Amino acid sequence: MKIFTSIVLVFILSLNAKSQDWHFSQFYYAPLAQDPALTGNMSGTARVGANYRSQWASITAPSVYSTFDVFADFQLMRGRFRGNSLGLGLIMLNDVAGDANLSTMHVQGSIAYHQSLDGTNNYHISFGLQGGFTQKGIDPSKLFFGNQFRDNGFNNNIYSGENLINTTIYADIGMGVAFSGQLNKYSQISFGLGAFHLNKPNESLKEKLQINQLYTKKVAHASATFGFNNKVYVFPAASYEYQGPSKEFVGGAAFGLNFTENKRKVGTVIYIGAFARYNESVIPTIGMITKSLKAGVSYDITTSTLARPTNGQGGFELAIIYNNLVQSKKMRKTYCPKF
């Protein structure tokens, strides 16, 4: 009961605070949510993907903290104009949090330009823009406030005096820059910077005159693939997010084995690894990579002060991406599975 009450109180206080965005442990499988410059930055011409995350069910049931997104992006003019290309994409994300069903619907379109830096088209610098809208809502009838507390408990029929609104909609803008390089047939690197909520929108769920600006979120990310004779692979990745007073670092690596004898094919790579969210959780992960499909499962094991009330349970996460690997004749063929 104390845990439940604490969660409710924290949620109520958050109505007057500047909130933190959703996040994914398998951030490397959520490119458009990581950096607009990654739009269309892929080995083929098109891809679609989805990410699902559910956390803290052990202490918030039947209420949930869950995040689901779907995205699609395309690479246009691939192999033309000396290796330069254009990426177009769309991401739709829905996040639900807590007993009052605080919901966020995020719809963003993105565009990115990928400039080739060498004659072999193996190194690119990318610039991306993202824009759309966010709808945030809440069910005030499920909230409890201090002035509704009486000797016999809470009475939500008493007017809270908070003047909450059910829904707010605001425009949202982001941008990013990234570098990607194909080191050889079996190895590649990628890193960049993304920035979201550049217009610092007002997301207040109180009266219209109340201002609750959303902090701009900055993301620094890096990932790599290091292959050894197309048989053994190492996939390191890291992400650092900074949003107002909130900071988050996730990093780690996975190790994969390619189950094919053909050195000119990706085959099927099965990987297993471990990541960590600094000062919060350890994240074991397992997945597979083929020529056209990537999928991963992870689970956050809580190591912070929430470890005791949650019994170490944290967040379950599932990610899947379908990648259409249509190679252009003007592009150099590679046999490198991308994490």
Task: Find the DSSP H helices in the chain.
Answer: 2-14, 31-34, 57-60, 307-310
Whether 70 shows a pLDDT value over 90: the answer reads yes
Mean pLDDT (whole number) for 272-293: 94
Mean pLDDT (whole number) for 178-189: 93
Whether 18 shows a pLDDT value over 70: the answer reads no
Whether 324 shows a pLDDT value over 90: the answer reads no
Confidence (pLDDT) at 77: 79
Q: What sign results for the dihedral spanned by CA atoms 96, 102, 103, 104?
A: negative
Confidence (pLDDT) at 12: 39
First to last CA, the chain: 42
Mean pLDDT (whole number) for 28-57: 91
List Cβ neighbours of 132 (8 Å cut-off, separation of 6 or more): 106, 107, 108, 109, 171, 172
- The CATH architecture that domain 2-324 belongs to is Beta Barrel (2.40)
**Percentage of the residues of the chain whose pLDDT score is greater than 70:** 79
Whether 246 shows a pLDDT value over 70: the answer reads yes
Mean pLDDT (whole number) for 187-211: 87
pTM: 0.85
Of 24-38, 78-92, 116-130, 317-331, the poorest mean pLDDT is in: 317-331
List Cβ neighbours of 11 (8 Å cut-off, separation of 6 or more): 97, 98, 99, 100, 102, 143
Residue ranges per domain, the chain? 2-324
Give residue 125's region: left, alpha or beta (phi > 0; psi -120 to 50). beta
Taking CA atoms, 182 is separated from 132, 192, 241, in Å, by 32, 15, 26
Confidence bin at 147 (pLDDT 50/70/90)? low
Confidence (pLDDT) at 267: 85
List Cβ neighbours of 22 (8 Å cut-off, separation of 6 or more): 53, 67, 93, 95, 104
Whether 10 shows a pLDDT value over 50: the answer reads no
Whether 71 shows a pLDDT value over 80: the answer reads yes
Angle at 328 between CA 324 and CA 329, to 5 degrees: 150
Do residues 182 and 334 touch, judged by C-beta distance below 8 A? Answer: yes
Confidence bin at 146 (pLDDT 50/70/90)? low
Q: Which pLDDT tens digit goes with each residue over 72-116?
A: 999 987 666 677 889 999 999 999 887 777 889 999 999 999 999
